[in-house]
Amino acid sequence: MAFTYGAYTACLQDRTLEEALDVLAGLGLTGAEVNTGGFIPSPHAPVDLLLASERARRDYLAVFADRGMALTGLTVSGNPLSPLPSEGLGHAEDLRRTIELAGALEVPEVVAMSGTPGTDPGARYPAWIVNPWNGIELEILEHQWSVAVPFWKRIDALARERDVKVALELHPRNIAFSPPSFEEFVERVEPTHIGVNLDPSHLFWQQMEPIDCIERLGSHILHVHAKDTAVLAGAATRGVLDTDFGPVPEDPAQRTPTGIGHWCSTWPEDPAWRFVALGEGHDVGYWTRFLQALAAVDADLSINIEHEDAALGRIEGIERGARTLLAAAEASGA
């Protein structure tokens, strides 16, 4: 048993699948995770064709095998619980289709998000509730759980039927975004085929310690994103729940892409934090301890670099991340 080190190919959306895999293989990586719907399209996975044709599935997997690469995950990050017509129903269908496809391809894991409903049955927009210390938000949370629980019970049953595990990324703006909120998810949903995609970047900026989170979550961890965050000086006066963002820049050259047709809002000039290439926020020593903590939980995980550092180019960012991750792998023995 050993970790598989790879990358999520969404940042290489301007290349064909073959070209993207060649980049990863050239960096010494042996795994790849591709997008299949949700917030961003699926340039590296023709989902309709793959669902319809066994021959297409064989040919698709051969593209990976010919390069010594493993297809280690299908990602469908979205908000399947959203009341927005442009999100909820479509993202939920993308999730179901991705589970079907993962089963047909014998890909063990689907990476998803738990989603965020609205505040009440008539809500038009999703609402992320945090710190409900003044009471009223607890009522909103109960409504949101009443939406989330039956949906995820059905998804868990589908995943069990298809012999696929769904790994929920603990991502802000979702009903499960931390170890305690995921534990509540487990208590309410009682899943057999749903666990966690451990992405340390979102834990860092919420001021959690990912290694402590690994120890707490234990065997719930099914999949890992290797992604870094730098907490900056602006946190001293902004905190990490900052609303001082602007609209997406009008000039396309100034936009930071998060996927095909999607861009980040304009960040403050002195932000509290930002995503950085693996190794720019925490050194090899940290990632060595991170891998050792994971190995103590499960020595057979897929660990995929996710590059979202706007200061570096796509290839440059993955190269930086691969150097850090593989150096940490050698040091850890994992």
State the maximum Cα–Cα separation within the chain, in Å, rounded to a whole number.
Answer: 57
Nearest by Cα to 224 from 294, 124, 138, 161: 294
How high is the pLDDT of residue 244? 84
How high is the pLDDT of residue 330? 96
Contact 201, 227 (CB under 8 A): yes
How high is the pLDDT of residue 334? 82
CA–CA separation, 148 and 93 (whole Å):
15
pLDDT along the chain (334 residues), means of 10: 92 94 97 95 95 98 97 97 96 98 97 98 96 88 98 98 98 96 98 98 96 98 98 91 83 69 78 93 97 96 92 90 97 90
Tally the domains of the chain.
Answer: 1
Alpha-carbon distance values, 82 to 93, 99, 122, 177, 334 (Å): 12, 19, 12, 16, 39
Tokens standing for residue 115: 């989603």
Contact 78, 38 (CB under 8 A): yes
> What DSSP assignment string belongs to 135-193?
SHHHHHHHHHHHHHHHHHHHHHHHHHHHT-EEEEE--SSSS--SHHHHHHHHHHH--SS
Give one word for 125, left, alpha or beta, with left for phi > 0 and alpha for psi -120 to 50: beta
How high is the pLDDT of residue 136? 87
The CATH number of whichever domain residue 76 belongs to comes to 3.20.20.150
Residue 77: alpha-carbon gap to chain centroid: 6
Tally of CB atoms within 10 A around 237: 9
How high is the pLDDT of residue 259? 58
User: 11 lies in which domain range?
Assistant: 4-332
Contact 32, 70 (CB under 8 A): yes
Tokens standing for residue 71: 């297809």
> Which backbone phi and psi does 31 adopt, to 5 degrees?
-135, 155
How high is the pLDDT of residue 242? 82
How high is the pLDDT of residue 134? 80
Cβ partners under 8 Å of residue 236, min gap 6: none
Nearest by Cα to 23 from 277, 315, 307: 315
How high is the pLDDT of residue 257? 64
